[in-house]
Structure 1
Amino acid sequence: MFSIIGGSGFIGTRLCARLERSKNEFTIVDKNRSAVFPERTTIADVRDLSKLKVSLGGVSAIVNLAAEHRDDVSPKSLYDEVNVNGARNICEAASLNSINKIVFTSSVAVYGFAPVGTGEDGVINPFNDYGRTKWEAEQIFHAWQAEAPNDRTLVVIRPTVVFGERNRGNVFNLLRQIASGKFLMIGKGTNRKSMAYVENVAAFIEHSLSLEPGVYTYNYIDKPDFDMNTLVSNCNEKLTGRGGVGLRLPKWFGMSVGYGFDLLALVTGKKFAISSIRVKKFCADSMYSTSVENTNFRPPVDLETAIDKTLQFEFLEDNSKEPVFFSE
């Protein structure tokens, strides 16, 4: 029996669908009831150790997808409460229930603004609380595994930006702008972005559940890495029939607009889709390497097909009644 903590979310729902198709038994532990698997959901928060201990009874492996991850989380203490203290509670509940396998989805955010081609041995240099707390959580899970290294399995998966059908995160916002014809490229557009399709991430998590005792760390990226000009031009062609990127703004101007929205958010207390950190992230290289390609895992969907499937579902068909998931 597998327990998917945070299984009501975007990645968790796809993972649970895969587990159901492969006839694996699983339960979902989440603070929200799953829209797709409500009957399999136990309501519990990773911050509540007592409920977590009960929820994980009879489980053989844990997949931890629970996290505070948005750029604009308030109060900021939630990053530590959920990502760090939540990891401690999961480890304690696992020990009390004699669970010896944990798969933890961390993030490439632990590397910060990393050099192009950063692999799993890259320098840890997070630039925000999300990346910092993901790294601290990794250390907590490592300490848990080290208590019984011959018996316990720890798999740390660091995905890059995850996209796909029904997600309402940064990639969707980019695609929606292109579809509207109002997209403005900021900067030269030569920066490369690593991406990960949700079905492939779910498939790799499922694959990881079969690993033997030990510690495994993987970046998860679907190759090849597109530069922004190529990505936008290809999506523009698919959605509007016109290639190219359209109007382009210099980076300094985009950053100025971002700082303006930062100030407006500070004054009004409202959250806006534009901010200086989002502009900076958009213009930065975020291209990673991965040792996944040295394993026997092969992603079920190639990246170009994954992008086409997402565009088709979100903008060329009417799927307005389907459940959606909000994330960064």
Structure 2
Amino acid sequence: MKIILIGGSGFVGTHLIDRLLEVSGLEVLNIDKNNSEKYPELTRIGNVMDWQTLVHHSKGGDVVVLLAAEHRDDVSPVSLYYDINVEGMRNTLKAMEVNDIKRLVFTSSVAVYGLDKDNPGEDAAIDAFNDYGKSKWQAEQVLDVWHRNHPDWNINIIRPTVIFGEGNRGNVYNLLKQIASGKFLMIGKGNNKKSMSYIGNIVAFIWFLIEQKKNGYEVYNYVDKPDFTTNDLVRHTGQILKKKIPTIRIPYWLGMFGGYGFDVLAFITRKKLNISSVRVKKFCAVTQFSSSKAMASGFVPPYTMEQGLRNMLEEEFGHKN
């Protein structure tokens, strides 16, 4: 089997290649606009906006895993979300059809549901609050129409919640870095629950879908349980790193006021800052989702939430570092 990753040079793609190379008999190729630091020999340079390059590099593939996405909170112009996430989907499908590849795993996002929802499952109402979530939903709609016109195709969509793990440099890493540093500022009460996904489980689930779910069209949320509150993350971090974590607390309204101040500063300086009103809002929101369908599929996560958190904290912030 030959598996084509599109957008596999980043955090998730690198861990997925690690996992796929453990399986004998697999051939793996990564197509990305950036070279892979770890797997340059498996990477071909290509952009999802150039479908002809995708056709050229994906010849002979059996399964495509589409990871390429514009996902940062501060992308400008916002049209990039739709160019990469929606038009990139159309280009991927076009290239797959040319090469007669009929199996796709697509990583969407729970961002399609919006914030502060009541543990939504896959059939919950769509209510994306930002352009990232809206563009991911539009990409899913492109897939839905495509499958109705190509019923013999096998399409699996994963909507993961925020992903953490060794090598991640996203919002969870920044949060844990602040907690581990002992200079942590808690905005709000810290009782809001956060659904999270450990990278080792995400890549294992992708391989499970490739290996086991070879027919039909399915959508799966992916969340590792239990859902931790922000207070839980502070407590677990202190226990794992064996250190007392002093926490300064400020009310939500003051945190949002500060976030708007950073928005203005970012606009004036034309720089991307780590703090913004959107990130404060997401930090304080309840982001809790159901993954009962994924867990009923036969998949067994190889890591618990506690193991995943320990792996990341010891790797990134342990005494050896």
TM norm. shorter chain > 0.5: yes
Matches within 5 A, 1:221-236: 221-236=223-238
Could you tell me whether the CA contact under 8 Å between 1:142 and 1:154 is conserved in 2?
no
Ranges in structure 2 where 5+ consecutive residues have no aligned partner: none
Could you tell me whether the CA contact under 8 Å between 2:160 and 2:222 is conserved in 1?
yes
By how many angstroms is 1:241 displaced?
2.0
Looking at structure 1, the residues matched to 201 and 3 of structure 2 have their Cα atoms a distance apart, in angstroms, of: 19
Could you tell me whether the CA contact under 8 Å between 2:227 and 2:288 is conserved in 1?
yes
Residue type of the partner of 1:11? V
Could you tell me whether the CA contact under 8 Å between 2:55 and 2:98 is conserved in 1?
yes
Residue 322 of structure 1: aligned partner: none
By how many angstroms is 1:312 displaced?
0.3
Residue 326 of structure 1: aligned partner: none
Residue 38 of structure 2: aligned partner: 36
Residue 69 of structure 2: aligned partner: 67
Matches within 5 A, 1:4-83: 4-23=5-24, 24-83=26-85
SS in structure 2 at match of 1:167: coil
Looking at structure 2, the residues matched to 271 and 4 of structure 1 have their Cα atoms a distance apart, in angstroms, of: 29
Could you tell me whether the CA contact under 8 Å between 2:160 and 2:221 is conserved in 1?
yes
Residue 247 of structure 2: aligned partner: 246
Looking at structure 1, the residues matched to 225 and 40 of structure 2 have their Cα atoms a distance apart, in angstroms, of: 34
Is 1:174 the equivalent of 2:183?
A: no
Residue type of the partner of 1:32? N
Distance 1:237 1:267, change over 3 A: same
By how many angstroms is 1:70 displaced?
0.1
Residue 163 of structure 1: aligned partner: 164
Looking at structure 2, the residues matched to 268 and 184 of structure 1 have their Cα atoms a distance apart, in angstroms, of: 24
Residue 120 of structure 2: aligned partner: 118
Residue 187 of structure 2: aligned partner: 186
Distance 1:318 1:43, change over 3 A: farther
By how many angstroms is 1:212 displaced?
2.4
Distance 1:28 1:317, change over 3 A: farther
Ranges in structure 1 where 5+ consecutive residues have no aligned partner: 320-328
Identity between Structure 1 and Structure 2 (%): 50
Could you tell me whether the CA contact under 8 Å between 2:116 and 2:285 is conserved in 1?
no
Looking at structure 2, the residues matched to 198 and 60 of structure 1 have their Cα atoms a distance apart, in angstroms, of: 24
Q: Which residue of 141, 148, 154 maps to 1:139?
A: 141
* 1:69-123 deviations in Å (ceiling 9; x for gaps): 0001122221111101000000111111111100000000011114121111111
* 1:44-82 deviations in Å (ceiling 9; x for gaps): 000001111111111111000000000011222211111
Residue 294 of structure 1: aligned partner: 296
SS in structure 2 at match of 1:137: helix
* 1:234-289 deviations in Å (ceiling 9; x for gaps): 2123335226x622110011000001001111112111111111000000000000
SS in structure 2 at match of 1:196: strand
Could you tell me whether the CA contact under 8 Å between 1:30 and 1:45 is conserved in 2?
yes
TM-score by length of 2: 0.96
Looking at structure 1, the residues matched to 96 and 108 of structure 2 have their Cα atoms a distance apart, in angstroms, of: 18
Q: Which residue of 97, 101, 104 maps to 1:102?
A: 104
Could you tell me whether the CA contact under 8 Å between 1:59 and 1:99 is conserved in 2?
yes
Residue type of the partner of 1:266? F
Which stretch of the first structure deviates more once superposed, 64-73 or 136-145?
A: 136-145
Could you tell me whether the CA contact under 8 Å between 1:110 and 1:124 is conserved in 2?
yes
* 1:150-194 deviations in Å (ceiling 9; x for gaps): x21110000000000011111110111111111011101110000
Give the length in aligned residue pairs: 317
